[in-house]
A and B are shown apart, each in its own frame.
Chain A
């Protein structure tokens, strides 16, 4: 059964169909939100809010968009709300990313892990659109068309942003190499 059919069922009052939608999309949403918020507890709460909002507003969901891009849109808005509230409270608890163990890891493994960590740090310093495009494309595996719909930009613009982001990251990787 497609997402669209499930959405239609939910609109007709079948809560079970919504459970199916949750099971399909919760993993992707959780990883996406966790990547943005960097706090597992906050990510859990936010994912719950996202699905609750989706359920409340599902009657306003139109068939011209896919459920996946729609829920990503809600997710991005919720993350923005979270950042806004954290900014007001001047509190942001970022979980420590597990750092590679110098002694335990063989040399090659350590250098790869370190490079991944550094690259991820570089991604964090990319401009907002480029960062979002990279996250949605690489980690969420959305197509450029879906990314465009999620971020409210054209497909081509999403592609161009991805290209610029990759160029920057390539330059960083080149300079990092011994």
Chain B
């Protein structure tokens, strides 16, 4: 039979004191004790500590105490059972709604929070796209009325140069059919937005414009432009 070291025996001493060893190991331990009094002494100490620990046991409160305790536990348990089965529907839903597990509720909560955010973003995009679209006839007039001063006042305030350019555009525009929505402005015309509403000029206003359209001045203006280029 294999001899065991003192270190190993010290561990086995504890198992021996707790009746956890097999017959072979018991024999090994006892054989070791025969030749090693220190290990035997260590076992005695372990046994003493274990027996002292086991002696510390609270006193039994008696059968009546246990009966009362179990009765109390069962009363509470049954009470709880009745509470759960007879609870109104809203309380049942509150306690365990639809019998869903916790993770299902977490997923539902995330969806509830995310869906409005996503919809709000989509609606915002649609709105911004719709505002970017070109305005139709009536809407456009309304928009310009809101944005600019009355047209007659604008025309009066124009300088000679400006009025000459404007007049050129008016003539060009009047020569076209105006029933369709006006086309978008070209790059050249961007600072002359006002021309898009020229079809709304009164005759008097047009006369003012025509008066201001002096062919000489406009020719001078063209020359200036070509020079600048």
Q: Interface on A for B, CB 8 Å cutoff?
A: 15, 18-19, 22-23, 26-27, 30-31, 34-35, 44, 47-48, 51-52, 55-56, 112, 115-117, 119-120, 123, 134, 137-139, 162-163, 166, 169-170, 173-174
Whether A31 and B58, one on each chain, are in contact in the complex, defined by CB atoms closer than 8 angstroms, is yes
The CA-CA distance from A162 to B81 in the complex, in Å, is 41
The CA-CA distance from A147 to B127 in the complex, in Å, is 66
B11 interface residue (CB < 8 Å to A): yes
The CA-CA distance from A55 to B80 in the complex, in Å, is 10
The CA-CA distance from A116 to B53 in the complex, in Å, is 7
Residues of chain B within 8 A (CB-CB) of A27 are: 66
Residues of chain A within 8 A (CB-CB) of B81 are: 15
> Whole-angstrom distance from the CB of A35 to the nearest CB of chain B?
7
Closest B-chain residue to A117, C-beta based? B56
Q: Which of A26, A34, A117, A138 contacts B66 (CB 8 A)?
A: A26
Q: Given known contacts A15-B81, A120-B56, is B49 in contact with A51 (CB within 8 Å)?
A: no
The CA-CA distance from A165 to B55 in the complex, in Å, is 17
Residues of chain B within 8 A (CB-CB) of A47 are: 69, 73
Q: Nearest 4 A-B pairs (CB), nearest first?
A: A138-B53, A51-B73, A169-B49, A116-B56
Q: Which of B49, B66, B77 contacts A119 (CB 8 A)?
A: B49
Q: Which of A23, A52, A119, A166 contacts B70 (CB 8 A)?
A: A23
Total residue contacts A-B, CB cutoff 8 A: 79
Whether A169 and B73, one on each chain, are in contact in the complex, defined by CB atoms closer than 8 angstroms, is no
The CA-CA distance from A115 to B66 in the complex, in Å, is 30
The CA-CA distance from A34 to B61 in the complex, in Å, is 12
Q: Which of B53, B70, B74 contacts A123 (CB 8 A)?
A: B53
- Judged by DSSP, the binding face of B is helix
Number of B interface residues in the complex (CB < 8 A)? 26
Whether B45 and A174, one on each chain, are in contact in the complex, defined by CB atoms closer than 8 angstroms, is yes
Q: B68-109 CB contact bits vs A (8 Å, 1 = yes)? A: 011011101110110000000000000000000000000000
The CA-CA distance from A37 to B110 in the complex, in Å, is 42
Q: Given known contacts A19-B74, A47-B69, A52-B80, is B55 in contact with A173 (CB within 8 Å)?
A: no
Whether B80 and A26, one on each chain, are in contact in the complex, defined by CB atoms closer than 8 angstroms, is no
Whether A26 and B73, one on each chain, are in contact in the complex, defined by CB atoms closer than 8 angstroms, is yes
The CA-CA distance from A120 to B78 in the complex, in Å, is 38
Whether B53 and A163, one on each chain, are in contact in the complex, defined by CB atoms closer than 8 angstroms, is no
The CA-CA distance from A121 to B139 in the complex, in Å, is 91
Residues of chain A within 8 A (CB-CB) of B54 are: 138-139
Residues of chain A within 8 A (CB-CB) of B72 are: 44, 48
Besides the known contacts A35-B58, A134-B53, A138-B54, 4 further A-B residue pairs in the complex with CB atoms under 8 A apart? A27-B66, A119-B53, A166-B50, A174-B45
Whether A18 and B77, one on each chain, are in contact in the complex, defined by CB atoms closer than 8 angstroms, is yes
Q: 28 A-B residue contacts at CB 8 Å? A: A15-B74, A15-B77, A15-B81, A18-B74, A18-B77, A22-B70, A26-B66, A27-B66, A30-B69, A48-B72, A51-B77, A52-B73, A52-B76, A55-B77, A55-B80, A56-B80, A115-B52, A119-B49, A119-B56, A120-B56, A123-B53, A137-B18, A139-B57, A163-B11, A166-B49, A169-B53, A173-B48, A174-B45
Residues of chain B within 8 A (CB-CB) of A22 are: 70, 73-74
> Whole-angstrom distance from the CB of B96 to the nearest CB of chain A?
11
B14 interface residue (CB < 8 Å to A): yes
The CA-CA distance from A96 to B185 in the complex, in Å, is 97
The CA-CA distance from A130 to B57 in the complex, in Å, is 19
Whether A116 and B14, one on each chain, are in contact in the complex, defined by CB atoms closer than 8 angstroms, is no
The CA-CA distance from A138 to B56 in the complex, in Å, is 10
B28 interface residue (CB < 8 Å to A): no
Q: Which of B11, B14, B18, B78 contacts A15 (CB 8 A)?
A: B78
Q: Given known contacts A15-B77, A119-B53, A166-B14, is B70 in contact with A26 (CB within 8 Å)?
A: yes
The CA-CA distance from A166 to B18 in the complex, in Å, is 12
